[in-house]
Every structure is written in structure tokens, then in C-alpha cells.
Structure 1
Amino acid sequence: MKTAAALLLVIATSASAQDAPLFDPVTGYRLTAYRGVVDSVPEGVVRIDARQAAALRGKAVFLDVTPAEGAVRDAEGTWRLAMPHATIPGAHWYPEAGRGIQPAGIGAWFADGVKRLTRGRRDTRVVVFCLADCWMSWNAARRLRRAGYTRINWFSEGLDGWKESGRTLADARPDR
């Protein structure tokens, strides 16, 4: 009897996951299955590769939106990380900022951080990235463009492409 109940639970969970929409019909943000082939570029955003990203270091604000696996963010905004994270040297890490529906407090934290880093100038060049085949950076780039930022570069190869091109990474902590 327990086996039958467990099987029904697995089937119900699988069916509900399959029925969940991939994209929000209103905002266009990806909501689930964040790791997968990303075959389009958000409108008004320019896709760049590792060579172009390296050339922009020091000339743009780099934003890493890779999730913090197993981490917890408390009400004051302090992160307790389950594992270390490495990013492109000089990048600012905003875990969870690329989710289609952002957890409480993340949206404002990301928006305020970008505003601070760009000194309120929406024409500042910004490079957004995550991992290769990651919809979170796509979402974050789209979100910034919709917020009025005009020079958004999406480094779609992300940390994977950076490492594969032989470049080094640096230890990171979520941006404060």
C-alpha cells in the first residue's frame, strides 16, 4: 500500500512539473528548467563571447547571477553559503537575481545594487552572466533592459566559457 501511494505521489509530482509553464506569459521570464539551450537573445541586449567579455573587463560592470546552491539569505540580506563560489575577477555576484520569479527581497537588492554600481546611469555598459546554457542570465539581462538600462551585454557562455577559454576565476561573496 505504501508503495502504491509513493508511486502516485511521483506521478502527480511529475505531471504538475510538466504542466508548469516554462515562461511567464506576461513578463516573458523563464520560470523553470533554467539549465537548457538558450536559443534567443533578449530584445535590446547584445550577446558576447568570452573574448569580448575579457576585452570589456574594467570597462563595464560585470554581474554574476549564478544561484548559490544550498545557501540561505536571512531577512537582513546576509547570505550563509553552503559552498564557495568563484566568478570572473571584479564581478559582482547576485545569486538568485536571474529567477523568473525572484524570492522576497532579491529584486530590490539586485535593482539597488545595479543602480549603485552604475551610479544611476542607465547607459553604463553592463555584462550579465551565469553558466553556459543558463536562462538565469537571460532573465537578468531582460530584466535590466526592461528597467531602462541601454547597454546590456549578455555573456551567454558564462563561467563555463570563461574557464574553457583559459581565464582564471576569483573567490566571490554575494554583493552587499
Structure 2
Amino acid sequence: MWKALTILTLILAPAVATGAEPGEELFNADGYRIAHYRAPVPYAPQGVGRIAPAAAAQLRPDRDALFIDVLPAEGGHREADGQWRLAQPRPSIPGAHWFPETGRGELAPGFADWFARGVARLSRGRKDRMIVTFCLADCWMSWNAARRLRALGYTNVWWLAEGTDGWRDMDLPLVNATPVSR
């Protein structure tokens, strides 16, 4: 009996620790998180630095670094013409560029291209441009976006793990963001 319980505990423990159901995949074959996005994220993606909120606050958005917000547009959606219909505002870091839904592990059709072209335009094609990705604390979406930028060849990518929660916790202002247009 005890042996069976021990074996069952060893099988179920990783799923419980990560929030996954037994047999549920958390990552796709490309290494992007695809489920349970709101969970602790223990480390930055390979080749990406982690930046503390206090250090990020010293940077001037669009001058020192591009700040890329990837939080989904909760209750909102993107129309065929590329315009967003939002159900609620997104309080974000002033000067950040919001690319809703681009932090998901598997992107909807057209979103990968929209994200890649948008960041290329904002960085003026400079792959060494400093980029800071974020969403909320304990959210894998900014981790996915940072990983995606590295895969696109960007070499100076930073991950603000605490996201807008960490920014707000430092009593820094947030402003309502508008999604980047096509």
C-alpha cells in the first residue's frame, strides 16, 4: 500500500507543483509555455537577462530601451482590419508598446508576423536594441515573448518578471495602453 502511494506521489508531484493536470503538457515542442500562464516563473529564458523593476525604472522608454507589454486584451479582440476592440483598459508602463496576445505559447494566425514586424519597426531593424518584455508578476507570457525575440535574433533582450505589478508596487505611474496598430 505505502509503495503504491509513494509511486503515485512521485507521478503526481510535478503536475501539482506546476499547476498542470497529470498528462497535460505545459510546453510545446518549441519550448514555449502553452498552459497555466499564471504561475511562478523560476528563471529567465536562455540568452535573456532578468531586469529588476528598480533598474527598469531608470531606463527611458523608446530612448534607452523598448518596453514591450504582451498581456492579453482580456475580453477584447482584434478585428480583421487589425484594430482592437477592448473590453477594459490595460494600465501599463508609460511609453511601452502593447502587443496583446503575443506572449502566448502558440500564436493565432498573423500574430507572429505582426509582432515580428512591429518590433522590427520600433527597433529600426537593430537586433542589438535593448528590449524589455513584461506583463504581470508570475506570468509566463512575457517569458514567452522574450524567448520569441531571442529566436528572432534580438541579442539584448531583458525580462521584467514582476511586470506592471512590480512597477505599481514601487509607486510608479501606469497609463492606459493602446495596442500597437498593424
Which structure 2 residues correspond to residues 57-136 of structure 1 after superposition, within 5 A? 57=60, 58-136=63-141
Q: Is 2:166 the partner of 1:161?
A: yes
User: Is 1:35 equivalent to 2:26 in the alignment?
Assistant: no
Q: Give the superposition deviation at 1:17.
A: 6.1
Query: Normalization by structure 1: what TM-score?
Result: 0.88
Give the C-alpha shift of residue 86 in structure 1: 1.2
Deviation at 1:77, TM superposition (A): 1.0
Runs of 4+ aligned residues of structure 1 deviating over 2 Å after TM superposition are: 16-20
State yes or no: 1:52 paired with 2:55. Answer: yes
Question: Share of identical aligned residues, percent?
Answer: 54
Q: Tell me which amino acid in the other structure corresponds to 2:38.
A: R
Tell me what 1:20 maps to. 24
The alpha-carbon deviation at position 121 of structure 1 amounts to: 0.5
CA distance in 1, matches of 2:40, 2:53: 18
Could you tell me which runs of 5 or more consecutive residues in structure 2 were left unpaired when the two chains were aligned.
Answer: 1-19
TM-score (norm 2): 0.85
Which residues of structure 1 form unaligned runs of 5+? 1-15
Query: Shift of residue 19 of structure 1?
Result: 3.3
Summarize the Cα distance change of 1:79–1:18 in structure 2 as closer, same or farther, 3 Å threshold.
farther
Q: Distance in 2 between matches of 1:18 and 1:105?
A: 32
Distance 2:52 2:129 in 1: 19
Residue type of the partner of 2:47? G
Letter in 2 for 1:48: I
Question: How many residues align structurally?
Answer: 160
Paired letter, 2:57 = A
Over the aligned positions, Cα root-mean-square deviation in angstroms equals 1.3
- CA distance in structure 2 between the aligned counterparts of 1:96 and 1:175, rounded to whole angstroms: 12
Q: Distance in 2 between matches of 1:115 and 1:102?
A: 18
